[in-house]
Amino acid sequence: MLLVAAYGRTNLTLRQLALLFGISTSAADRVIGHLGPCLALRQRRRYRRQTVLIVDGTLVPARDHTVAERSKNYRYSTSHQVVIDAGTRLVVAIGRPVPGNRNDCRAWEDSGARDAVGTTPVVIAGGGFRGTGLVIAHYRRHKDEELPSWKEDHNASHRRVRARIEHVFARMKGWKILRDCRLRGDGVHHAMLGVARLHNLALAG
């Protein structure tokens, strides 16, 4: 587990990692392939009725072009829908990766994140989730429309709450494997779930 955690934190090559732990490159590869999925986050299945969740998508650069596509930052990336508890800031669910050129509305459906959350909790999201039934900020229907003050107040409150998921992304991206993932196939999904679980452990103390 220490080797897997070191790999996720530093994103060293297998050759460098094997030298660090005094094993062969193939042995390091087998350890990561076998124990990486064991570190994955167990997604929450049930929620209290008063639970408030926040969802947003984040891009992870990936070298496996069978699961990644060119995204808005012109890199091959996968898009991940991450759901956190607004009160505790713990990650409760992560959808399966979809190509990085998918918008959030489609990724919310295709990744399975919507099914993982269900209909019980209130889910807050950004403007990219229009039409999904999630709680988003008020927006202008046309450029000349002026929002009333009470809507502006709601939007300010919405931004303050939704900023919590950006803080979670900042902490998770401290794990360098999420800046340039060399793993293939389901490896990028396992890496995301593993980092999410370690984030929860660190946050919960």
Q: Are residues 28 and 53 in the same domain?
A: no
pTM of the model: 0.90
Residues 96 and 187 in one domain: yes
The answer on 17 and 86 residing in a single domain is no
Pair 125, 188 in one domain: yes
The confidence band for 5, taking pLDDT boundaries of 50, 70 and 90, is very high
Measured at the CA of 65, the angle between CA 6 and CA 74, to 5 degrees, comes to 90
DSSP string covering 108-141: HHHTSHHHHH-SSSEEE--GGGTTSSSB-----S
Using CA atoms, how far apart are residues 102 and 75, in angstroms rounded to an integer? 13
DSSP 53: E
pLDDT at 205 over 80: no
Q: Are 105 and 15 contained in the same domain?
A: no
* Residue 27 sits in the same domain as residue 121: no
**Which domain range does residue 187 map to?**
43-204
88 and 182 share a domain? yes
Say what the pLDDT of residue 173 is.
94
**pLDDT score of 189 more than 80:** yes
- Same-domain status, 29 and 52: no
Angle at 23 between CA 190 and CA 197, to 5 degrees: 25
d(CA 117, CA 41): 15
What is the pLDDT at residue 142? Answer: 80
Instruction: Give the number of domains in the chain.
Output: 2
The domain that contains 197 carries what CATH number? Answer: 3.30.420
95 & 187 share domain: yes
Q: Is the pLDDT of residue 60 over 90?
A: yes
Name 48's Cβ contacts closer than 8 Å, sequence gap at least 6.
120, 121
Burial of residue 197, with CB atoms counted within 10 A of its CB: 0-12 exposed, 13-18 middle, 19 or more buried: middle
* Shared domain check, 170 and 123: yes
Both 29 and 48 in one domain: the answer is no
Q: Does 95 share its domain with 115?
A: yes
Q: What is the pLDDT of residues 79-101, one digit of tens each?
A: 999 999 999 999 999 999 999 99
In tens, the pLDDT along 111-152 reads: 999 998 887 788 999 988 988 889 998 888 887 788 888 888
